[in-house]
Chain A
Amino acid sequence: MWIESTIALKFLRQGFAQTLLILVGIGVGVAVIVFIVTLVGGLQENIVSRTLGTQAHIKVEPQQEVNLIAPALDNQVRLVRQDERAQRLRSINNWQQVLQSMEKIPTVTAASPVVSGPAFARRGQALKSILVIGIEPERYEKIISIGDNIVAGEFKVSAGNTVIGSVLAKDLGVRIGGKLRLETGDNQTAVLTITGIFELGVRELDSRYVYLELKQAQALLGLFGGVTVIDLTVSDIFAASLVADRIDRLTALKAESWMQTNSELMNALKSQSLSSNLISFFVALSVALGIASVLAISVTQRTREIGILRAMGARRAQMLRVFLIQGALLGLSGSFAGAGVGWVMVWVFNEYGPGLFDIRPSVTIVPIAVTVATIAGVLAAIAPAWRASRLDPVAAIRYV
C-alpha cells in the first residue's frame, strides 16, 4: 500500500488548488452536520429536561373502575347501554409492596409514593382550587427537585407545614410563615404554615400545587394509609415506555410514561430528529458527490500517468487503490477540519448566540462524522477508481 498511498498523496499535492477546494467543501459539509446535530440534540435535551423537571418519568396508578357486565350466554346477543363509572379517589392496594417491587427494577432509579386529590385553599374571602400532593419529601426530591426551584423559604414539608406555588401565593396574598386553610369536598379541613414557595415555571403547577406531608394529605383526602400514585424515574428516559409497558404487564396497575402523557412533544422531538437527520444525509450526500466529481476529473486529468504506470507494471488493483486512498484521504482530512470548525461554531453559539440554552457537542459526534466522511469518500471514489483501473494502457498513454 506504500506506493499507492505515495502516488495518491503526490497527485493530491500536485493539484493543490483542486484539493484545497474540495477539502473546503467537505469541511463546510461536516461542520454543518456537527453543528446541526449538536444544536438539535441540545435543543431536544433542553426541552426534555424542562419537561421532565416538573413530572415523573413514569406514573403508576390503579386501573380505572369499570362496570361489571355479565357475559352473554351461548347463542345470545346482548346489547348494553351503560354510563361509564365516575372515577373516585382510590388507593393502590398494598402500595408498600408495590413500591418495593418497583425499586427492584434495575432501570428504575427512584420511586416515590404520592397521594393527590383536589381541594380548595382559602384565605379570607379568596378561594382557590388546588391540588393537594402528599409526599415523602426525601423520596420525592429524587423525582422532581422542588428544593432547586424554591424562590422563598425552604423545602420543608412536615406535619403542619406546606410548600406552595408562587402564583398561588400571589393570588392568595400569602408569604412565608403565613397560614393557609385547606378544605376538601368531604368537609375535611387543615390549617398549615407556609414554609416555602416554589416556582417551576409552569403556570398551571405554580398556581395549583400544594405539597403536604404524606400522612396529613392522606387524612385530608380521606385515604388513610393509602397512596394514589407511585412516581418513578428511570436511567434511560427514552426507555421509559418500555419500563411502563413491563409494569403494565406484570401488575394489575396502570403505568404511563412521560412519552405517553406528552405524545405531542414526542412527535415534535421525532420530527426534529428526522429533519436533522435529513439535513445531515443530504449534506453528506452532496459532500460524497463533490468527492466523486473531483476524483472523476482527477482520473481524466491523470489518464496518461495511469497509462504510464500501467506500462511500468502497475496492476489494475494498484490503480484502483490509488484513487480509493485519495477518496479516503479527502474524506478524512476534510472531515477533521470540518469537525474542528463545527466545534468552533458550537462555541460561538454558546458564547454569542441567543443564550436561550447551551449546547454541548457529544464526544462521539467527531469520530462518527470523521468515520462517515471517510467511508463516504471511499464509496464516492469507487466509480472513478474503477474507471482508472479499467483504462486501456495504450489509449491512456496516447491521451493528451
Chain B
Amino acid sequence: MSESISANESVLRLQDLRKCYNLGLPTEVEVLHGLNMTLRAHDFCALVGPSGSGKSTLLNLIGLLDQPTDGELFITDIATRHLEDEERTLLRRENIGFVFQFHHLIEAFNAQENVLMPLMVKSGKPNDEQQAWAAQLLEAVGLKGFEGKKPSELSGGQQQRVAIARALVTRPALLLADEPTGNLDTQTAANIFELLRKFNQDFDCAVLIVTHDARLSQTCDRTITLVDGRITEDVRHTLDKQNP
C-alpha cells in the first residue's frame, strides 16, 4: 500500500503528454495534443468533455494501461514513459485504484474476494488483517452482510459500490473512475459520488472522475474540460484549495 502523501505533493503530473494512434501510417491520428496538468493528494477532480475528446484515452494513460507517444507522465513523481510493462504494473498496483463504468467485477469470486483481489494478486492469500479491512470497506460502502454474494446477486448500484471498495483496498494515492455513475439512476449516482468524496477526504486519495453529468461535476472541487484532445478549461469550485 502506498505511503501517505502530503496534500501539496503531486500525485499525478502530465508534461506535454501526446498520444497518437496508427503512428507512421497514413491513418495516423493524434488524440491528445501536449497535455499539462497536476493532481494533488486531496484533489477531487472531474474530467468532462464531449464524446471523442480523448477522456478515456487520457484515463488509460494515467492508469498506466497504455503508453503515451510523447511527453512524460509522473505518478508520485516517478517518470513512467520509459518503464517496462512489469514496472508499470507494479507502480499501478501500488498507487492506482480503478472504478470502471461497468463495475467489472469477476463473477467467479464473491463480493469480499473481489474487494480483496488487488491485495491477492499482490501478496497471495489474504491475512486476517486484510480480510477485516475488506469487510470494513464493504461496510463503509453500505454492503455489510453482502460479503458472500456473487456479483450477479447484487444490484447495479451495489456492484459499483463493491468496485469502489475494491479500488480503495490498496489505499491508492490516486483513484480513477471512468463514468462510475453512467449506468445508475440519479439517486444511486449521487450516493456513489458521496462515497467517492468521503474516501477522498478519509484516505487522502486524489480522485479523478470522468463524467458526462454536469450536475455531478459541479459537486467536485475542480473540473477539467477536455475538447478535441486539449484541456480547454481547468476550474476550481472552492477557494480554499491551491491553484492547480
Give chain A's interface residues, CB within 8 Å of chain B: 1-3, 6-7, 10-11, 13-14, 304-305, 308-316, 318, 393-394, 397
Contacts of B108 in A (CB 8 A): 7, 10-11, 13-14, 305
In the complex, per-residue mask of B36-67: 1 if CB is within 8 Å of any chain A CB, else 0: 00000000000000000000000010010110
Instruction: Out of A10, A316, A318, A397, name the residue touching B85 (CB < 8 Å).
Output: A316
The closest CB in chain A to the CB of B123 belongs to A3
Kindly identify which residue among A3, A14, A393 contacts B121, using a CB–CB cutoff of 8 Å: A3
Number of A-B contacts (CB under 8 A): 64
Complex formed: what's the CA distance from A34 to B103 in Å?
48
Q: Enumerate 22 A-B pairs (CB-CB under 8 Å) in ascending A order.
A: A3-B120, A6-B120, A10-B109, A305-B108, A308-B100, A309-B117, A312-B93, A312-B98, A312-B166, A313-B90, A313-B92, A313-B93, A313-B121, A313-B122, A313-B170, A314-B89, A315-B86, A315-B90, A316-B85, A393-B65, A397-B65, A397-B100
Across chains A and B, which 6 residue pairs bring their CB atoms closest together, nearest first?
A313-B93, A10-B108, A314-B121, A2-B124, A14-B108, A312-B118
Across-interface contacts of A394 in B (CB, < 8 A)? 60, 65-66
**B20 contacts A by Cβ under 8 Å:** no
Interface pair B106/A308, CB less than 8 Å apart: yes
Which residue of A is nearest B97, CB measured? Answer: A312
Separation of A2 and B125 alpha carbons in the complex (Å): 6
- In the assembled complex, how far is the CB of residue B177 from the closest CB belonging to chain A, in whole angstroms? 13
Q: Which residues of chain B in 152-203 are interfacial with respect to chain A, using CB atoms and an 8 Å cutoff?
A: 166, 170
User: In the complex, what distance in Å separates the CA atom of A6 from the CA atom of B106?
Assistant: 13
- B82 touches A (CB below 8 Å): no
Please give me the residue from chain B that is nearest to A9 by CB atom.
Answer: B108
Known contacts A315-B89, A315-B121, A316-B86, then 17 further A-B pairs from the complex at CB < 8 Å, ordered by chain A residue:
A2-B124, A2-B125, A10-B109, A14-B107, A14-B108, A305-B106, A305-B108, A308-B100, A308-B106, A309-B121, A310-B89, A311-B104, A312-B166, A313-B93, A315-B86, A394-B65, A397-B100
Chain B residues lying within 8 Å of A313, measured Cβ to Cβ, are 89-90, 92-94, 118, 121-122, 170
Cβ A311 vs Cβ B117 within 8 A: no
Task: Indicate the member of A7, A11, A313, A394 with the most B CB atoms within 10 Å.
Answer: A313
Partner of B63, one of A3, A304, A311: A311
Closest beta carbon of chain A to B164's beta carbon, Å: 14
Interface size band for B:
20 to 34
Question: Could you tell me which B residues sit within 8 Å of A by CB distance?
Answer: 60, 63, 65-66, 85-86, 89-90, 92-94, 98, 100, 104, 106-109, 117-118, 120-122, 124-125, 166, 170
Q: Is the Cβ of A397 less than 8 Å from the Cβ of B104?
A: yes
In whole angstroms, what is the CA distance A308 to B162 when docked?
Answer: 14
CB distance from A375 to the nearest CB of B (A): 26
How far is A318 from B92 in the complex, measured between Cα atoms in Å?
Answer: 15
- For B106, what are the chain A residues with a Cβ–Cβ distance below 8 Å? 305, 308-309
What's the minimum C-beta distance from A157 to chain B, rounded to whole angstroms? 76
B-side contacts of A315, CB under 8 Å: 86, 89-90, 121
A318-B121 contact given A310-B89, A311-B98, A394-B66, CB 8 Å threshold: yes
Given the complex, which residues of A lie within 8 Å of B90, measured CB to CB? Answer: 313, 315
Q: Which of A11, A14, A312, A397 contacts B117 (CB 8 A)?
A: A312
Task: Write the chain A residue with the least CB distance to B95.
Answer: A313
| Residues of the A chain whose Cβ atoms lie less than 8 Å from the Cβ of B117 | 309, 312
How many Å from the CB of B121 to the closest CB on chain A? Answer: 4
B120–chain A nearest beta-carbon distance, Å: 5
Contact A312 B121, CB 8 Å, known A393-B65, A394-B60, A394-B65: yes
